[in-house]
Amino acid sequence: MPEKFNFPTPNRFIKLLYSIGFGPLIGKMVLLLKTKGRKTGLPRVTPLQYEEIEGLYYVGSMRGSKSDWFRNVINNPYVEVRVGSKQFEGMAEPISDTSRIADFLELRIRRHPKVMGMIFQIEGLPSKPKRDQLETYAKNLSMVIIRPKG
């Protein structure tokens, strides 16, 4: 019987695209965040959608404070980032304030209305949620602001 071909997971696929030179294209929406594993101390690389605002990089965690990369940042805020063809070290600041996360979601809606609309519908919200709905939704999310060094 022939072996089954295992397709890479979305995260592995994005890392693969970065590694074969598609970083400048993929980097328009997704960065690679390298954290230090809180249990192993080993480097962990996670692809994440982001928004750049005034030189700072904002990334959100759909799984809130339960996501491994977010818990790694809590344990050690020193991170490395690869976005497009740029690489830099930075300091990650965890944010759990629902108002600030809702502000971030509003920005994402303005910049990516179709993608965000689909995400909200999957989450059981209207494609264009009102502010109070965003704040309720934001209670289960976490966010990190990455400040590049230098």
Specify the pLDDT at position 9: 64
Read off the pLDDT of residues 88-143 as tens digits, 9 standing for 90 and up.
999 999 998 999 999 999 999 999 999 899 999 999 999 999 999 999 999 999 99
Bridge partners (DSSP) of residue 88 are 81
Dist. CA 55–CA 145, nearest whole Å: 10
Please, is 31 exposed, middle or buried when counting C-beta atoms within 10 Å of its C-beta (0-12, 13-18, 19+)? buried
Mean pLDDT, residues 22-39 taken together: 85
Position 5 in a domain: no
The CATH number for 107's domain is 2.30.110.10
Position 4 in a domain: no
Mean pLDDT rounded to a whole number for the chain: 89
| Residue 5 in this model has a pLDDT that exceeds 60 | no
> Which domain covers residue 138, as residue numbers?
10-148
Specify the pLDDT at position 7: 54
How many folded domains does the chain comprise? 1
